[in-house]
Structure 1
């Protein structure tokens, strides 16, 4: 099949030139704009049956399909010659129907009825008549966008999202309906509530719904509990395993077999210390993002130094403060941020107080304590244990996903940690330390335009790379939030005037609402405030703000290691200059 190249380097099929637009989404993904939900779901089904070379995951959305690839070359090959089917006017279904009871007493029911010019009873009748198709997963595990051809309940999102929407709330947004599986912020118009078990890790599969299924809503006066309805009750908090001490299984995947006995005790967890392994690839159809370490390279290096596989579970510590005491002989390695670490043993004469060398294996004997100080450079440190840490698995992984609430809870004082395996071969030979953001410099971060750079004025992309941004205090594992940096007293080059607003830098050319579409780590979303958010490991599966550019995969770890207050500029690349092994540009002084 031949392709037609647009001036911006994007491609589209000549056979369906008016239907599909194919755009690069960073180096490792391609977004296919299908114009309609029906076409997007048809393409999703086609690529499931006929996967492209190197295809690792598909994320269908309202009008697009995101295709992730194993390598940059495979993504480029698909971009140059995509295999796209003829369009379809049907939403694919497989005949399975789930009936969901709803009490229609939502906070926005009256407003929805007034907006649509109908009675509240007419809204309920329209919502319960006919079947809704499960189209695609949304922002959280178990959340799905439900669609109907004959839907008359087309209402906008609330102008100001609620900070907390209760679990089970049934809502409307645009021409979709959906159910919140857990308490979370949200801007949908709420018309009712249910107690259907939308996401339950004691069930297999854990998601009640999946794309292609049908949903029938049923109006009821009261909700029968899950147990009374013949569905197993969700585990009570007392039944849930504690974060660190002993391996457990959720029914999704067995935790690694553990050697009996505990090896480390948590004296202090610091600000935040999490279990992280290789993450949850392949579960976007449930609304589950990959998660995993924010700095994958540092986590893999820590595991390598103690002879583990790169997928073994490590500890990810934010900003130091972690204190662990050995209960038996252990071998450890510390990587990531430039974090001062000390090994102490008050029982020795004289008391032992040694500095621990980073990126080098070291031993801890019973009674000795490892303490991490505040990082001099970087933000996140990774601690690997020879044999790996044993930790409870949820949805195939021990990684803590802070957005979805999956995985073991953060470590707490008093937790006792268990080793996953009895033995492994220690690799004592260090390699050059991974680069970190340097204090007192402006960090240069490479990025590739798009896929929604055309939603901004042509001048915006230039301004985006010219100004200096600053990492906000509100950044986390979900995303790095950026503010415009203040102008220095000497009026340094590349900085905005003191009165400039973010929306003056990033001005929208297209102001309508963007239908939800798939997201990747490194995507730079621009909300209406004009302050960009760079998605990290715990990003949502889909998002509804345009992505002006996508961070180069090799530079994403630098953002994960950038403390609040770090200043940075984006170096926009063109795709011929964006090979993964290209050396990083040097940093510049503030």
Structure 2
């Protein structure tokens, strides 16, 4: 039976009974979009639908009738021919596992008509499904730490191609040099959900000419500042990459959206302009031109030192949440954070940074965007139009020692016992020091001696991969929640017990290790 479940405020999860049914629903919604529909994220047995408003989400949940078969118009799908050399390391193991000869494995794989079902764990990685495939191949008992780019693999009844070198547990049967993910191309992904893939056996691969190089925009000859120290980590961030989940690209962007928007507003920028996101304070830069800056986010000391100041003169303090000017050779120094975790530094006109997949944001999961900034790096302005500098604003709240997060139940709360749902809100959790921009890991503040997980499932088995949202609270088998942030994966395989209200995500992004976290369920309709 097909059900539609709420997933956070602006998402609905169509729970199908098979991959083929999920593909059918995806095809239907692609050709017949429902009001407010922004994006579709197909997965193994679900389709996640993103809406513009909570009201449109609720309307879809209560009124949409899920078709048992697609009502597509028969539009021709794109077929990609993937030339493949079948010499994979696991080819003999696959033959043994399926009771086939190596030649039969190759024939069955290359003769099947594979459909691009959904995006996976990295940009350009897609799960391929073939209705006529009869092979069912177990994953490797021990995943490889590095699978070469272009490897063709099998897992279960699915096939896939690794677009870049990464860890993986699929059985490798061949390799290709098809350009699966190329940022110089538009679109950068060779495949998309709904495409058909035909593997063509070849003895050797014809070298594919390198894509015509795209000359990146050259920064101005003169920078506006020099980064003297990045602190623990400083990265470029902007409004992110919304709408690219079908390529396996996470949204990324500002972790604390409100603080970042306020920093840009204070210097007269559009709110999504590129700025610096700093972790833990410690950032230091020296101006090489006249510039206007603003600092928001975590609580830090911010001081400015002029080179001509006497040694005994105290550096001047600049206020957070208020624009200030730096003259050439003046140095801005941020101290360590004393409240919160992430600080935002906006430059009037915006920072110049490389654009990848439509954004300058550093995605720490996929590696998109410029790497973290380093000592001595020159900073440039994008010279974007800016309005008048805004007056100071009231600082936004940041966590002190504890936070309470509003959460919306589901979509997989029915995977947990009644007792576990009660413990979920009754337990005082603590932010782990292994948290990052991908997700915040929680542990019980007062761990029990028992090895029994705090949150226990009410059912056995594994959940097929399904679409994820920022704020989703996954619970792996150890029973300790992981809350996804901006650099989250597009799909995940652990049940989501609840999702954090979008307005409370900034508190989580600002929560340093050891912060106490409690949850309270809310009615999304209220």
Please report the TM-score for the alignment, with normalisation by the length of structure 1. 0.84
Matched, 1:379 2:341: yes
Q: Does 1:499 align with 2:453?
A: no
The answer to whether structure 1 residue 296 and structure 2 residue 257 are counterparts is: yes
The worse-fitting range, judged by mean Cα deviation, of 179-188 and 422-431 is 422-431
The answer to whether the aligner puts 1:322 opposite 2:283 as a matched pair is yes
- 1: CA distance, partners of 2:383 / 2:220: 6
Q: Which residue of 2 aligns with 1:401?
A: 363
Matched, 1:391 2:340: no
Corresponding position of 2:486: 537
The one-character-per-residue Cα deviations of 1:134-190 (angstroms, maximum 9, x if unpaired) are 122112111111110111221233344333322222211221101111122223222
Classify the secondary structure of the residue corresponding to 2:406. strand
* Root mean square deviation of aligned Cα: 2.3
SS in 1 for 2:453: helix
How far apart are the structure 1 equivalents of 2:196 and 2:480? 38
Alignment of 1:94-109 (within 5 A): 94-109=76-91
Match of residue 508 from structure 1: 457
> What's the CA shift for 1:233?
4.6
- Alpha-carbon displacement from aligned partner over 1:27-69 (angstroms, at most 9, x marks no partner): 1211111212222222223223332222221111111111112
TM alignment of 1:550-569, pairs within 5 A: 550-569=499-518
Task: Give 2:442's match in structure 1, choosing from 459, 482, 499.
Answer: 482
2-structure distance, mates of 1:83, 1:31: 13
Structure 2: distance between partners of 1:423 and 1:29: 34
How many Å apart are 1:352 and its aligned residue?
A: 5.8
Is the Cα–Cα contact under 8 Å of residues 437 and 561 in structure 1 kept in the other structure?
Answer: yes
Residue of 391, 400, 411 corresponding to 1:438? 400
Q: How far did 1:220 drift? A: 3.1
Partner of 1:210: 192
Contact 1:131–1:214 at 8 Å: present in 2 too?
yes
Say if 1:41 and 1:92, in contact at 8 Å, map to a contact too: no
1:274 aligns with 2:235: yes
Equivalent in the alignment of 2:330: 368
State how far apart, in whole Å, the 2-side matches of 1:422 and 1:466 are: 49
The 1:162–1:570 alpha-carbon spacing in structure 2 relative to 1, beyond 3 Å, is farther
1:459 alignment counterpart: 419
Q: What secondary structure, in the 3-state scheme, does the structure 2 residue paired with 1:477 have?
A: coil
CA contact (8 A) 2:28 2:72 kept: no
Q: Distance in 2 between matches of 1:269 and 1:222?
A: 47
| 1:341 and 1:372 in contact (8 A); partners too | yes
Q: Distance in 1 between matches of 2:182 and 2:253?
A: 21
3-state SS, counterpart of residue 325 of structure 1: strand
Aligned partners of 1:454, 1:311: CA distance in 2, in Å?
A: 38
Partner of 1:57, secondary structure, is strand
The 3-state SS of whatever aligns with 1:462 is helix
Please say if residues 259 and 422 of structure 1, whose CA atoms lie closer than 8 Å, have aligned partners that are also in contact.
Answer: no
Task: Give the match's secondary structure for 2:22.
Answer: helix
Unaligned runs of 5+ in 1: 1-17, 242-246, 249-257, 488-495, 580-590
The C-alpha deviation readout for 1:533-582, integer Å capped at 9, x for no partner, is 11100111111111111111111111111112222122122334xx4xxx
Residues 422 and 189 of structure 1, relative CA distance in 2, 3 Å threshold? closer
Counterpart secondary structure, 1:62: coil
Range 558-567 or range 376-385, more displaced: 558-567
SS of 1:575's equivalent?
coil
- Work out whether 1:307 is the aligned partner of 2:257: no
Q: Does 1:201 align with 2:162?
A: no
* Separation in 2, partners of 1:538, 1:500: 33
Q: Find the counterpart in structure 2 of residue 142 from structure 1.
A: 124
Larger mean Cα displacement after TM superposition, 259-268 or 506-515: 259-268
| 1:419 match: secondary structure | coil
Question: Contact 2:27–2:72 (CA<8 Å) still a contact in 1?
Answer: no
Query: CA, structure 1 residues 466+187, in 2 after alignment: closer, same or farther (shift >3 Å)?
Result: farther
Partner in structure 1 of residue 223 of structure 2: 262
* 1:338 aligned onto 2:299: yes
Aligned to 1:42: 24
2:263 and 2:294 in contact (8 A); partners too: yes
CA distance in structure 2 between the partners assigned to 1:102 and 1:31 by the alignment: 36
Query: Are residues 500 and 354 of structure 1, via their aligned partners in 2, closer, same or farther at CA, if it must alter by over 3 Å?
Result: farther
Deviates more, 1:168-177 or 1:516-525: 168-177
Q: Which residue of 2 aligns with 1:584?
A: none
C-alpha distance in structure 1 between counterparts of 2:93 and 2:508, whole Å? 42
More deviation, 419-428/150-159 = 419-428
TM-score of the superposition, structure 2-length normalised? Answer: 0.94
Give the distance between the partners of 1:472 and 1:544, measured in 2 at CA: 21
Given the superposition, is the C-alpha separation of residues 472 and 432 from structure 1 closer, same or farther in structure 2, using an over 3 Å criterion? Answer: same
Q: Distance in 2 between matches of 1:97 and 1:87?
A: 22
C-alpha separation in 1, matches of 2:138 and 2:215: 38
Partner of residue 382, structure 2: 420
2: CA distance between counterparts of 1:92 and 1:191? 33
1:387-423: CA deviation from partner (whole Å, max 9, x where unpaired) = 1112111111111111111112211222212212265
Consecutive unaligned residues in structure 2, runs of 5 or more: none
**In structure 1, how many angstroms separate the alpha carbons of the residues matched to 2:459 and 2:143?**
22
Q: Is the 8 A contact 2:112 2:133 kept in 1?
A: no
Aligned counterpart, 1:183 = 165
Alpha-carbon distance in structure 1 between the residues aligned to 2:85 and 2:432: 41
Decide whether aligned partners of structure 1 residues 425 and 454 sit closer, same or farther in structure 2, where only a CA change above 3 A counts.
same
More displaced 10-residue stretch of structure 1: 34-43 or 131-140: 34-43
2:454–2:480 contact (8 Å) kept in structure 1: no
Q: Does 1:113 align with 2:117?
A: no
Partners of 2:322 and 2:393 within 8 A in 1? no
CA distance in 2, matches of 1:137, 1:472: 29
Distance 1:186 1:39 in 2: 27
